[in-house]
Amino acid sequence: MLTVHFAPNSRAGRIIWLLEELGLPYEVNKMAFHPKDLKSDAHRSRHPLGRVPVLDDGDVRIYESGAIVEYVLERHRNGGLKPAVDAPTYPAYLQWFHYCEGMVMPPVNTIVVQTLLLPPERRDATVLGQAQRLLGKALAPVDEALAGKDYLIGDFSAADVMLGHACFMSNRMGCVADEMTSLSGYVERITARPAFQTAISMQ
């Protein structure tokens, strides 16, 4: 049985979403998004930095959401969520899968820190503004790529699990501009997926 070590409003939501899309059985160890849980000795034994998600699969323990997604697809079931290596869509799949953590999530992380995690007296409006502008620039190519498509490579794929979750978070923080109509529609389609709704209901 797969076990997902999970905290609300984190990248762990991607893993629940993926497992729901694939119809795989799993258990959840739900923790508070708070140092008392995440920085506990028990959780540090799972992740040296006390972060989520962490996946246990028998004797295998793996962290980093992208690595977990790739592991699940290769070890358990593709389920049509990853194109074949020789498919025309495979390069775009790889690009958008990794674009998430490379380009979108760094400014998202900064925005979360500056609006939620830091006490008001330590927040920096300049740093927040820079992150919001950077996120807008990072989302613009995603909006362009989605023009005329329902999902990033046409059909729904694990790239949508990675980047789509980040786009949902960006939209929730008010960082998807009104003119990004393709991206807004994409977030609506993702939000309507039953598997996504299950993942978000755990937040």
Lowest average pLDDT, out of 7-16, 71-80, 116-125, goes to: 71-80
* pLDDT > 80? residue 80: no
What is the pLDDT, as a whole number, of residue 203?
Answer: 74
70 and 97 part of one domain: no
148 and 186 part of one domain: yes
**For residues 129-143, b (16+ Cβ closer than 10 Å) or e, as one string?**
eebbebbeebbeebb
How many residues can be counted in the chain? 203
What mean pLDDT comes out for the span 15-28?
97
108 and 63 part of one domain: no
What mean pLDDT comes out for the span 180-203?
96
55 and 105 part of one domain: no
60 and 129 part of one domain: no
- The percent of residues above 70 in pLDDT, for the chain, comes to 100
What is the separation, in whole angstroms, between the first and last Cα of the chain?
22
85 falls within a domain: no
What is the distance between the alpha carbons of residues 125 and 195, in angstroms, rounded to a whole number?
36
* pLDDT > 80? residue 125: yes
Q: Which of 62, 53, 60 is nearest to 5 (CA)?
A: 53
137 and 69 part of one domain: no
Is pTM, for the whole model, over 0.85? yes
Range of the domain at 20: 2-79
Task: Look up the CATH number of the domain holding residue 133.
Answer: 1.20.1050.10
Report the domain count for the chain. 2
